[in-house]
Amino acid sequence: MADFAAPMTGGQTFQLAGRPARYTVLYFYPKDNTPGCTTESMAFRDLHAQFQAAGTEIYGISRDSLRSHEGFKAKLGLPFELISDPEETLCQQFGVMKLKQMYGKTVRGIERSTFVIDAHGQLVKEWRGVKVAGHVDEVLEFVARQG
């Protein structure tokens, strides 16, 4: 997988290369402060300690601005950073932009997806078209089994 850098909350820049974690979870979600995205982010938050114990770092990614991300992160008390991708660079790299039906209209947006990358930068698992219920448990189970 090609290295990439992207702006994230906390005034930091995410860089894939040289990540110290055994695994990096990147979860793409459509929009800050929407019901499904809030539920998914809170599930990652609530299991954060277990992910850490499995040598795994978590990062959420959407097209929202850093300002929006900072508010969303603070509101939910997220212990991990959120990556801003307004130019859709990462969305394109991971192929998560899709045409979706919303309230009877076709809209272009992020298909909820999660990717696990190992310490060597290799994509080792992906989930696309994610349904929120039970998903975070499944991701945790995967990384915990790898240890």
Alpha carbon distances (Å) from 125 to 42, 44, 99: 22, 17, 23
Contacts of 67 (CB under 8 A, 6+ apart): none
Rounded to whole angstroms, the maximal C-alpha distance in the chain is 44
List CB contacts of 20: < 8 A, sequence separation 6 or more: 119
Catalytic residues, by residue number, are 37
